[in-house]
A and B are shown apart, each in its own frame.
Chain A
Amino acid sequence: MNEDVLVIENLQTAFDTEQGRLTAVDGVSFTVPAGKTVGIVGESGCGKSVTAMSIVQLLPQPAGVITGGKVIFKGKDLIGVDDETLYGIRGNEIGVIFQEPMTALNPVQRIGKQLSESLILHKGMSKKDAWAESVNLLDMVGIPSPEIRVGEYPHQLSGGMRQRVVIAIAIVCKPDLIIADEPTTALDVTVQAQILDLLKKLQKENGSSVILITHDLGVIAETCDEVVVMYGGRVVEQAPVENIFKNPQHAYTKGLLDSIPRLETPRKSLLKTIPNMVAGLAEFVDGCRFCQRMEREGDSLNTRPELKEVATDHWVEACPQCTTHA
């Protein structure tokens, strides 16, 4: 039963821009085991969302192109399959939760219609049955008086409610994989706790796997089994969640963990920081991109470090200046 629902091998995604073709995801590989939650963490522009959107091939068109690699979902490579097959998978076997609930929902369609859409398309339900099932789903994601809400429009709901609707749409067909792109970033901590709890509950009930994209390390620690740390379009470290927090091996992971204020940090003390900023896509070097940010010199900037397994399931990009494992 220990199958992997999703295997990503050496994924390359690029964007055609005025500056030419720029690679946003540069050879990313990881796997998502059945029933597990894999977190992808990194800063803006590290390629975490592009990686996720490449899986379902929802890249901005015509600029975004997958230039290489494999996305093997339940044993089948999704790269290069025809649109018909993708339509059958998206919203059905893979559900997507987008960050901004106001833009993910259609403002001029009733909630019930937006939920029914997938049921009618993928499950062949009648309009009436789909509408009734929509009420059940709203109830399942914890929306009070679902029989009234189902006939309302998105603007009549609060932010937390809208995010619940977006989740309901993602799980409507009991997908094998849920991709959640910053699902709680726009929400208050209290509502965030409700939503994360809901996601966990639904995952347990349906046995789905989840890819959770976030920049919040607290959210990662509380919800994920495995963590993928991305920097500059590449994976720099990947490990079970305890290892990432207790025994981080890459300088970037350590830097991220050190820079968050915690409740036990002495008040008003200066925080540790990672100096400088991430380079632009066009400026990235071939070699270690974290060394580039740290303005280091040497060979590590010229050759791309290999991913190396330093402990069971714990992989790290073996740059001699960023880790002791080179």
Chain B
Amino acid sequence: MNLLDVKDLKMHFPVHGGVFSRVVGSVKAVDGISLSIKKGQTLGIVGESGCGKSTLGKTIVRLNKPTAGSIHVNGADITKMSQSELRPHRKQFQMMFQDPAESLNPRMSIGEIITEPLLIQKIGNRHTRRERAIQLLERVGIPGSAVDRFSFEFSGGQRQRIGVARAIALQPELLVLDEPVSALDVSVQSQVLNLLLELQEEMGISYMFIAHDLAVVKHISDYVAVMYLGEIVELADADIIYKNPKHAYTKALIAAIPVPDPTVKKERIILEGEIPSPINPPKGSAFGHRINHPQYAETEGLDMPLVEIEPDHWVAADPCCLSVEDYINARSLVK
């Protein structure tokens, strides 16, 4: 059974304008996303800024109220639950944010920060919570004696470890990680990635790992989903997607990663322009529009769902972004 099941999830934010601040449109940050994560597995989410990947993460842990679609965690439908109904379920899913300096309260000791989730869930007493904080700190590689110190006394890498300790305090089954290592130096980044891998092994946690560094995502993920303008355009086993990307956008993203080897002379695909505004997205293929594809006009109003083009490999049936052969194949699979 899947730990997380997301179906046709939409998260639209209203845009107000005019003298009476009427709703004049909406930002379609997440626009019809379906995905699932199995127990103990990692799904990586990649895409450029503004593609909706962070909104997707926040919506899944219900920091936003979804516009449409459904979210099931361990079989329970959490899509429409109120905050009080959600509270007992929150133990199962936690989120960790990018900036270790801003996500930790500077007025709380790190012991208080780590055990705040236990306090909210009314678990244990003062004494046992402190014990637990020490235990968690030591698990993430910080001496337990530091429990009464404040977050600003620590370096970026240590703060991110404290963030991990807080996120695992309730022994969640799902952890949504939003750019957890982007702010860290390479040598510290590898320390935190190893910690996450070890914790997954020990506790069987599932991760949703949101990042823009494709090499990092590939390293930690079982599956990788590529997002463009609020939609998933390709989703596959992590090895498959890097060896055999089908979608033009995935290919461009992979080609843009700088390779740490000066002797590699690879073919460069320099993408022109940037991701368009999600307020007025193109009517047809969003990426086809960016690259001025000659077949763009055909895609206006065309349904381009994700289809399983080969085992463990899904791609949007988009004529602008697939080879002719792949497109014919994909189209034949559209129900």
Residues of A near B274 (CB, < 8 A) are: 158, 160, 190-191
Instruction: Please measure, in the bound complex, the distance between the C-alpha atom of A43 and the C-alpha atom of B186, giving whole angstroms.
Output: 8
Interface assignment of A63: CB less than 8 Å from any CB of chain B? no
In terms of DSSP, what is the predominant structure of the interface of chain B?
Answer: helix
Interface assignment of B131: CB less than 8 Å from any CB of chain A? no
Chain A interface size, under 10 / 10 to 19 / 20 to 34 / 35 or more: 35 or more
User: Which listed segment binds B: A77-85, A217-225, A302-310?
Assistant: A217-225
**Least CB distance, B260 to chain A, in whole angstroms:** 4
Q: Are B197 and A268 within 8 A (Cβ)?
A: yes
Interface assignment of A197: CB less than 8 Å from any CB of chain B? yes
Interface assignment of A267: CB less than 8 Å from any CB of chain B? yes
**Least CB distance, A224 to chain B, in whole angstroms:** 8
Q: Are A245 and B261 within 8 A (Cβ)?
A: yes
Interface assignment of A325: CB less than 8 Å from any CB of chain B? no
Given A263-B218, A265-B219, A267-B219, do A192 and B187 touch, yes or no (CB 8 Å)? no
Q: Are B239 and A271 within 8 A (Cβ)?
A: no
Q: Are A43 and B185 within 8 A (Cβ)?
A: yes
0/1 per residue, A151-163, Cβ < 8 Å to B? 0000000111000
Instruction: Please measure, in the bound complex, the distance between the C-alpha atom of A216 and the C-alpha atom of B222, giving whole angstroms.
Output: 25
Interface assignment of A259: CB less than 8 Å from any CB of chain B? yes
Q: Are A188 and B212 within 8 A (Cβ)?
A: yes
Chain B interface size, under 10 / 10 to 19 / 20 to 34 / 35 or more: 35 or more
Contact of B186 among A188, A215, A221 (CB under 8 A): A215
Give the A-B pair count, Cβ closer than 8 A. Answer: 131
Instruction: Please measure, in the bound complex, the distance between the C-alpha atom of A265 and the C-alpha atom of B53, giving whole angstroms.
Output: 25
Contact of B238 among A191, A267, A274 (CB under 8 A): A267
Given A189-B256, A271-B193, do A261 and B218 touch, yes or no (CB 8 Å)? yes
Interface assignment of A76: CB less than 8 Å from any CB of chain B? no
Interface assignment of B242: CB less than 8 Å from any CB of chain A? yes
A-to-B contact residues, CB < 8 Å: 43-44, 158-160, 188-194, 196-197, 215-222, 241-242, 245-246, 255-257, 259-263, 265, 267-275, 277
B-to-A contact residues, CB < 8 Å: 42, 48-49, 155-158, 185-191, 193-194, 197-198, 212-216, 218-222, 238-239, 242, 252-264, 268, 270-272, 274
